[in-house]
Chains A and B, each alone.
Chain A
């Protein structure tokens, strides 16, 4: 792919897809989502044919908008002929309307309403996540499956299910108000959080594709800042967390594409712009009352990312944040991260002791076994360390991680 051309058009089509689907779902109806998606796809396809031969128009968005609009109107007219008089009237009225691209504010608002629709409580979190990727981020079923490391068929079924709910249960597209907003915003933030973590997870798969997921999560979160009722402490903290983590992207892989753990990353490669804005949002989030889970996680990522070196990381501060976080969010990944930090502050023996309680709950977990192996290695109990590492390798689900663990095991042989 020619990089120079590609940079100027960075993700144009994908973002146009999300924008156009949102605009027309708002303009017409969520019931028409399939027709709308087809029309947008068709318009992009027409555009690509034309723009392959000719320069792009000055305003490609306006061109696409008009083409999609005409196509949907054509469809509605055809439908109307075969259905009822009432609908025919509506279709005629539609035909009178302007087909000029709405102003930026409308485009943003329509996408906002779409975010809330994709996170409708009738859908499961994974369905919400997949539907958001499909309708708002313009990923295809195949790309979603690849990015989330899921089977294509299963992904397709989940999206089909979500779309049925989208058509039948969402109703009019709107940003909820009052108490409804609070619940739904929680779901929206959760989906953005999941989306980011799916991209950030140290797993196999196309790293660029994964980075895209993180960028999409950040983009959606920034969209939400346009809605005053959403732009509160939790959203700001979530954005801060994502920015601090995304800052590390340039340092996460070596030249061969292998993943590097935090202690082996070249910190000079961390993205300063991301860090600067991370600080900004973290600071902003603290102006709101109460400390949310997102705020704790943002503060933790901040300490990790801004430490001068891995050794100089402020483990004590991180541990105290984890102590609070583990109470609010007692899930395995938090519990294990806390134990790792605990080992830095109080030593491996203390951490191993703390781990005993945890093992009953999450027995056989690969990360837990790997962590345990590391802790045994630290206190020089190499045989126990190797046994646990071998067990972890047996549990490893993906090649990158297995390769990483096997390399470690090799370096431990003979110790």
Chain B
């Protein structure tokens, strides 16, 4: 079994337009999806990320505010899952509600074994 990292981007613009009931329904979809992953033993960990952040470079001499990217390019959250292959990790990700949003997408990376 390998570990895979999902990086979530986008979907925010759609959510900002939603009514309270729709936001709740959307959250329910996420919760149900995550619960499904947990029940199958696929879920390791995951959390949303705030929009605020810092960028540090040049040996720590340069510190700037925030992620450089805008909107749909900002990583909005991450998830770690167990899967037997990159293909399986890809299949698992297809149930994610973020894909309902036009600009929502998931980057999948295998975590290197040490």
Contact = CB atoms under 8 A, between A and B. Distances in A.
Interface stretch (A44-52, A239-247, A363-371): A44-52
A49 B48 contact: yes
Interface stretch (A3-11, A96-104, A180-188, A304-312): A3-11
Contact of B31 (A16, A47, A52, A139): A52
Contacts of A2: 28-29, 31-32
B63 interface: no
B19 A139 contact: yes
B27 A52 contact: yes
Given A53-B48, A54-B47, A9 B21 contact: no
B48 A52 contact: yes
A124 B23 CA distance: 30
A344 to B, nearest CB: 41
Interface in B6-34: 15-16, 18-32, 34
Nearest to A2: B32
Interface in A26-82: 41, 44-45, 47-54
Contacts of B95: none
A152 to B, nearest CB: 12
A139 B19 CA distance: 7
Contacts of A51: 27, 31
B20 A14 contact: yes
A108 B28 CA distance: 27
B77 interface: yes
B46 A16 contact: no
Contacts of B46: 53
A143 B18 CA distance: 10
Nearest to A6: B28
A16 B34 contact: no
A49 B21 contact: no
B47 to A, nearest CB: 5
A12 interface: yes
A50 B77 CA distance: 10
A4 to B, nearest CB: 9
Contacts of A47: 27
Contacts of B79: 53
A376 to B, nearest CB: 45
Interface residues of B, number: 25
A19 B54 CA distance: 36
A17 interface: yes
A173 B32 CA distance: 41
B29 A138 contact: no
Interface string B65-107: 0000000000011010000000000000000000000000000
Nearest to A47: B27
A45 B29 contact: no
A5 B24 CA distance: 11
A261 B46 CA distance: 52
Given A52-B48, A53-B34, A138 B21 contact: yes
Nearest to A40: B20
A136 to B, nearest CB: 12
A1 B25 contact: yes
B19 A48 contact: no
A132 to B, nearest CB: 15
Contact of B34 (A9, A45, A52): A52
A41 B16 CA distance: 8
B19 A5 contact: no
Nearest to A55: B31
Between A12, A53, A54, the greatest number of chain B beta carbons within 10 A of the residue's beta carbon is seen for A53
Contacts of B35: 5
A140 interface: yes
9 contacts: A2-B31, A5-B32, A14-B21, A17-B20, A48-B23, A51-B31, A52-B27, A53-B48, A140-B18
Given A16-B20, A49-B76, A53-B30, 20 more contacts: A2-B29, A2-B32, A5-B31, A6-B25, A9-B24, A14-B24, A44-B20, A45-B18, A48-B23, A48-B27, A48-B30, A49-B48, A49-B77, A51-B27, A52-B27, A53-B47, A53-B77, A140-B18, A140-B19, A143-B21
